[in-house]
């Protein structure tokens, strides 16, 4: 059977996705996204789980968004359950870019509390994009259980996700300001400050949260003192 010019191009692109040179992999991902083909979908999802370069991964996600959701969604939903953290994280990131709410049931509480920070952060962003109307308050309550987690970058991601939900997060934040752990209280206060003034910036919000905590007599933990460094 003679291969057509299109078949040859597809074979070359698929091979390029596994090249040892990141520049070649990037060009291959761009080519795949420019000329979508159902044959590419499984390979794109597979590469997302193992690709070491950020810009290539981002282009792989872009290429997936160029294909019909009916083709990409099943594989991505499988990938979010992968034992490999990068596969879970990138699949969640891609689902947030596609924005199809049929993926919502896959954004589980387990993913939003995943032990891997990158997976959890991707799950938070995907959840905010995909949450069905009327379920925002329930989502805010789940996200609030992660307050105080990780370092500055992780805490900023969570605050941004909560702020994106809007005023529905206020009850969850208010409850967290009385948590037993001081780093949770400070993060909740900082997020509440960001909700009130999104332009203030996270570091400024943390400083304000510490000031408020000091005025109310709340003790400050050592790990809080590292948050805004």
Q: What is the mean pLDDT of residues 134-151?
A: 96
Helix, strand, or coil (residue 115) = coil
Write out the two tokens for 79.
């990938």
pLDDT at 6 over 60: no
Of 125, 52, 114, 59, the residue nearest 92 (C-alpha): 125
pLDDT at position 207 is: 66
Q: Which domains does the chain have, with CATH numbers?
A: 24-130 (1.25.10.10), 135-229 (no CATH)
Of 182, 112, 114, 118, the residue nearest 144 (C-alpha): 112
pLDDT at position 226 is: 43
Least confident of 18-22, 117-121, 145-149, 193-197: 193-197
Residue 205: pLDDT band with limits 50, 70, 90 = low
- Rounded CA gap, 225 and 206, in Å? 10
Calculate ∠ Cα 74-20-3, nearest 5°: 65
How far apart, in Å, are the Cα atoms of 206 and each of 118, 132, 166, 200, 229?
Answer: 22, 30, 19, 10, 10
Tell me the average pLDDT of the chain: 88
Query: Residue 153 class from Cβ within 10 Å (0-12 exposed, 13-18 middle, 19+ buried)?
Result: exposed
pLDDT > 90 fraction of the chain, expressed in percent and rounded:
72
pLDDT at position 44 is: 97
Tell me the per-residue pLDDT of 149-201, one tens digit each, with 9 for 90 and over.
Answer: 999 999 999 999 999 999 999 999 999 988 888 889 999 998 998 898 887 76
Of 132, 90, 97, the residue nearest 111 (C-alpha): 90
- Asked if 144 and 172 touch (Cβ cutoff 8 Å), the reply is yes
pLDDT at 225 over 50: no
Tell me the per-residue pLDDT of 25-45, one tens digit each, with 9 for 90 and over.
Answer: 999 999 999 999 999 999 999
pLDDT at 229 over 60: no
pLDDT at position 182 is: 86
pLDDT at 228 over 50: no
How far apart, in Å, are the Cα atoms of 194 and each of 161, 170, 191?
Answer: 11, 12, 5
Write out the two tokens for 128.
């905010």
């Amino acid at each position: 059977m003679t291969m057509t010019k299109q078949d040859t191009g597809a074979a070359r692109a698929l091979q390029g996705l596994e090249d040892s040179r990141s520049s070649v992999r990037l060009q291959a991902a761009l080519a795949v996204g420019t000329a979508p083909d159902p044959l590419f979908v499984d390979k794109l999802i597979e590469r997302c789980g193992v690709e070491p370069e950020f810009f290539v991964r981002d282009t792989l996600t872009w290429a997936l968004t160029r294909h019909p959701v009916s083709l990409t969604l099943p594989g991505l939903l499988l990938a979010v359950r992968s034992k490999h953290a990068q596969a879970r994280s990138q699949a969640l990131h891609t689902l947030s870019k596609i924005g199809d709410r049929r993926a919502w049931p896959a954004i589980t509480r387990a993913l939003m509390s995943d032990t891997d920070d990158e997976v959890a952060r991707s799950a938070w962003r995907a959840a905010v994009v995909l949450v069905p109307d009327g379920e925002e308050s329930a989502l805010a309550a789940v996200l609030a259980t992660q307050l105080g987690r990780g370092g500055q970058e992780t805490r900023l991601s969570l605050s941004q996700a909560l702020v994106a939900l809007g005023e529905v997060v206020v009850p969850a934040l208010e409850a967290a300001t009385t948590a037993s752990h001081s780093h949770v209280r400070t993060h909740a206060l900082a997020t509440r400050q960001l909700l009130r003034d999104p332009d203030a910036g996270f570091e400024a919000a943390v400083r304000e949260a510490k000031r408020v905590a000091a005025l109310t007599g709340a003790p400050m933990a050592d790990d809080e003192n590292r948050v805004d460094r």
